[in-house]
Amino acid sequence: MSPPAIVKSSTAKGEETRAQILAAAVEQASAWGFESLTIGTLAEKAGMSKSGLFAHFGSRLELQIAAVDEAARQFQELVFLPAMKAPRGLKRLDAIFENWIGWPRKANLPGGCPLDAANKEYAHRGGPMRDAVLERHRMLSRELGKAVQMAIDSGELAADTDPGDIAFGMFAIVLACFHTESFIGTEPAQSRARKAFDTLIRNHAAARG
């Protein structure tokens, strides 16, 4: 009696190693792409056997999809979530941008943004991976759109601003930041990105009273 009730030991021992595997998977995918996620190399990285790792996912595809999910979760956790502490409007948009351009470093992903990598890899082909990537991307895109709309509603951005233009502009600047980091270094790339973002916002700012 005395029913164990909850238990289930929040870390079921298997869940724990699964989480470790996925962390390693995202790290590798950020640098080498999701197509590089092979059972063998990942097993070696996680310090376990191929079959042992394999049992956690059932197939390579499931592993890749799980890695995409994990990457999106980390993005949400490191970019959007902390920005919620900032007040709605431009302040929050600023926070999102700043977290965005810095999140690969914060997540210890020296290979760059894994979602960006996934998009590049699968956007132009069919299959379940493309579906998974697009779904996650649309979700995050919607969240960004809401944040922009708030800045319009608050009167900080001009009322006739097209929210899509701002989202497109932010997306563009962040992409260019990630891409130029490898050429000119993190610091100069982020500096240029911030300057471009400032210009973008100033361009659409509501006229001051």
- Note the residues at the interface with DNA (CB under 7 A): 4, 7, 9, 12-15, 17, 37-41, 43, 47-56, 58-61
Do 60 and 123 meet the contact criterion of CB atoms below 8 Å apart? no
Task: Tell which one of 60, 105, 106, 120 touches its own copies (CB under 8 A).
Answer: 120
Report the first-to-last Cα separation within the chain, whole angstroms.
71
Nearest to 114 by CA among 122, 84, 194: 122
Q: What tokens does 58 get?
A: 């059932």
d(CA 31, CA 122): 16
Q: Is 46 in the site for its own copies (CB under 8 A)?
A: no
- Alpha-carbon Rg for the chain in angstroms: 20
Site string for its own copies, 151-180 (x = CB under 8 A): -------------xx--xx-xxx-xx--xx
Closer CB to DNA, 31 or 184, in the complex: 31
Give alpha helix (H) positions in 77-185.
81-83, 90-106, 114-122, 128-153, 163-184
Closer CB to its own copies, 78 or 176, in the complex: 176
Closer CB to its own copies, 82 or 111, in the complex: 111
The one of its own copies, DNA, none whose footprint includes residue 173, by CB under 5 to 8 A per kind, is: its own copies
Among 16-24, 67-75, 83-91, 194-202, the segment contacting its own copies (CB under 8 A): 194-202
Closer CB to its own copies, 12 or 184, in the complex: 184
d(CA 97, CA 116): 15
Closer CB to DNA, 2 or 207, in the complex: 2
> Which distant-in-sequence residues (6+ apart) come within 8 Å of 121 by Cβ?
33, 34, 35, 129
Enumerate the β-bridge partners of residue 205. 157
Write down the least CB distance from residue 1 to its own copies, Å: 53
Nearest to 99 by CA among 118, 116, 119, 74: 74
Q: Give the residues lining the site for its own copies (CB under 8 A).
A: 30-33, 35-36, 110-112, 116-117, 119-121, 123-125, 134, 137-138, 141, 164-165, 168-169, 171-173, 175-176, 179-180, 182-183, 192-193, 195-196, 199, 203
